[in-house]
Structure 1
Amino acid sequence: MAEQTYEPRQQRSREKVARILEATASLLETTPYDDLGTKLIAAEAGVSVGALYRYFADKEAIVASLVRQWLQLDVQIAERITTEPLPQHSRELFEKLVTAYADRFRKEPGYRRLWYGGPRIASLRADTQQTDLEIAKRVHRALVHGYGMPDTVESRRRGRLAVGVASNLLDLAFREDPTGDLDILADAALMIDRYLFAPPSEK
C-alpha cells in the first residue's frame, strides 16, 4: 500500500500520533517488524484501530513517520555538538559525534531493531539523503571555524562522503553487538578525522 500520513493540527490529535509512534518504537524492541500489526500498535498506544487509520494508512506509514522523526533528531544532534564549545582537537569532536549516534543504537527504543530488521521504504531515501547533507553542513562549518579547515569544494565533498562512511561504520559496529564494537567506533572517529584533514587529492 502506498504510504499515506495525515498531519494533525489539533493538540489532541498530535498527542495521539505521538502515542502511536512511541508505541511502535516500544513494540519493535520485542516484536519483529513482520509480526507487527496495526491492531497491536493501537492497543499499545491506547487508541482505537479506527483512530489509528485516521492518521496512518498502514504500519509502513507509521514506521516511515517514526524514521522521519529520528532523522530530525539526528540533525539536532549534529547541531548541538557542533555549536557547543569545541574540543581542542578535531578527533575529539568526531569521537563525540560517533558516541552520540552510537547511543541512538543503544538507547533509542526500536532504533536498532528497525535499522536491521525493518523494511526498506523508498519514500525515505530523499529524507535520508537530506539528513546526511544537513549533518555534513554542520560538521563542515565546525571544522572550518574551529579547526582551520579550508572551505573548498573538495572539503565539502569529503564531508558529505564522510557522513556516509560513518553511517556504514556504525552499521558494522552494531550489527552483531547491541552495545557496539568499541574498536570499530574508535576507528571510525580516527578514520574520518584523518580523511577530512588529508591533503587535497590530485585530479
Structure 2
Amino acid sequence: MLDACAELLDEGGYDALSTTRIAQRANVAIGSVYQFFPDKRAVAQALALRNLEDFGIRIGELLSGSRFERWSQLVGNVIDIFVDMHRTVPGFRVLRFGDVADLNLLDEQADNNAVVAGRLRELIVTTTGVADGPELERAFAIAVETGDALIKMAFRREVDGDDSVITEAKALIEDYLSRYLDR
C-alpha cells in the first residue's frame, strides 16, 4: 500500500491522493487500507516515516563505509543522499518527510524539518565530537530549512535537479555551518 501511495504521489501529487486510489493501485479491497490506515494522511505519514528511516539507513551506510576528516565532507554527502532520494525513491520528491501532507507529520510537537535537523545535528555531534547546544540546534534548523528550500528550487528548475543549484546549496550550508562547527 505504501508503494502504491508513492506511485500515486509521483503521478498526481498529494491532493489527488485518496484511500480509494491507493486500494485500487495496490490491488486490495478498500477495507484492507482502512484496516491499517484511517485516512490518506495516515498512509502519507507511514510513507514519510519510511522515507526518514531510509534516509537514516543510507546515512548509516555512509558512516560505516567512510571516514570523514572534516564535518563538511559528511554534510556534503548527506546532501547527496537527500538529492539521490529525490531522484530515485518513488513519491519522495512530492512527500519527502511529510511536509506536503502536514508540517507536523513526523512529530506532533515539532515540524518535520525540525525533526530532520535534530537527527542530523545528533549525527554530526556524535560523529565529530562537536559540542552541542542551543546555538548549534538553531544553526542546524536554519541549515535544514535552507537546504530544503534550495533542493526544492533545484528540482523545480530541472526534473532531475539542477546540479549548479545543488552545488551552491552545499557551499552555502557548509559555509554557514562552519561558523558553528569550526570553533
Q: TM-score, normalization: structure 2? A: 0.79
Trace 1:79-90 onto structure 2 (pairs within 5 A): 79-90=60-71
From 135, 138, 145, give the equivalent of 2:123.
138
Alpha carbons 1:173, 1:180 under 8 Å: kept = yes
Q: Percent identity?
A: 25
Give the Cα–Cα distance (whole angstroms) in 1 for the partners of residues 144 and 81 of structure 2. 14
| Structure 2: unaligned runs, 5 residues or longer | none
Deviations 1:41-68 (A, max 9, x none): 1122121111111111122221121112
Trace 1:1-203 onto structure 2 (pairs within 5 A): 20-114=1-95, 119-124=100-105, 126=107, 128=112, 129-144=114-129, 150-153=130-133, 154-198=135-179
Alpha-carbon distance change, 124 to 176 in structure 1, aligned in 2, over 3 angstroms: same
> Highest relative contact order (Cα 8 Å, sep 6+), 1 or 2?
1
Give the Cα–Cα distance (whole angstroms) in 1 for the partners of residues 59 and 19 of structure 2. 33
Q: TM-score, normalization: structure 1? A: 0.72
Give the Cα–Cα distance (whole angstroms) in 1 for the partners of residues 31 and 180 of structure 2. 59
* Greater Rg by CA: 1
Tell me the secondary structure at the aligned position of residue 151 of structure 1. coil
Give the Cα–Cα distance (whole angstroms) in 2 for the partners of residues 90 and 168 of structure 1. 22
Number of aligned pairs?
174
Give the Cα–Cα distance (whole angstroms) in 2 for the partners of residues 199 and 60 of structure 1. 37
Shift of 1:103: 0.8
Tell me the secondary structure at the aligned position of residue 197 of structure 1. helix
Alpha carbons 2:125, 2:132 under 8 Å: kept = no
Amino acid at match of 1:191: L
Shift of 1:34: 2.7
Give the Cα–Cα distance (whole angstroms) in 2 for the partners of residues 21 and 166 of structure 1. 26
